[in-house]
Amino acid sequence: MAKKTAFLKQFWQEKKMVGAMSPSSKYLAYKMLRNIDFKKAKVIIELGPGTGVFTKKILEFMQPDAKLLVFELNDTFYEHLKEEIIDDRLILIHDSAEFIQKYLNEAGFIHVDYIVSSLPLAVFPNKLKTNIINVSYETLKNQGKYIQFQYSLNSKRLLEDRFDAVHLAFTPLNFPPAFVYTCIKEKA
């Protein structure tokens, strides 16, 4: 099945989990990843990879000794990624983003350099999104970045309240057009 059709099917079956009708564009991928210093990044987390638009790009730019931990809750997307991406640097996790800390520790790490998130925060219950943002903040190193796209400004306040600095960008070249938040942790 073509990726766009497969994505749409998951959207209809799991609207609140998937939160989008098609995979992100290469323009959005560029805006999401352009603030990552791939030369220095040793541990990166991706939340909600879907069909892997950002995952493949991150692996393309990542150093050979870096690790990417990817959290995907949806069964179909998880199975698809497991079959399609074979890379020793990838740790694919079939569980919710809430449990970052547990899997990070199991992989032998305490902190991460970057978190790239496509989670549909706007449709998440308040407790779930607050937990995920809090654990993300705790997990980041000093000067680490949490990079999140959304189709609205709905989560701006939540991100600004938790992070020490938040920069906002926008791309019309995506369906739907998207806002990209780059959130910085300035304290260790």
Ligand X SMILES: C[S@@+](CC[C@H](N)C(=O)[O-])C[C@H]1O[C@@H](n2cnc3c(N)ncnc32)[C@H](O)[C@@H]1O
Distance between CA atoms of residues 62 and 39, nearest Å: 7
Dig out the tokens for 43 from the structure.
Answer: 């541990």
Decide whether 31 or 186 has the Cβ nearer to ligand X.
Answer: 31
If the CB atoms of residues 77 and 179 are measured against ligand X, the closer one turns out to be 77
Q: Please state the closest distance from residue 121 (CB atom) to ligand X, in A.
A: 9
Q: Nearest approach, Cβ of 114 to ligand X (angstroms)?
A: 15
Query: Whose Cβ is closer to ligand X: residue 43's or residue 58's?
Result: 58
- Least spacing, CB of residue 144 vs ligand X, in Å: 19
Binding-site ranges for ligand X (CB under 6 A): 17-20, 23-24, 47-50, 53-54, 71-74, 77, 96-97, 118-120
CB of 98 vs ligand X, minimal distance in Å: 6
**Residue among 46 and 113 whose Cβ is closer to ligand X:** 46
CB 139 within 8 A of CB 45: yes
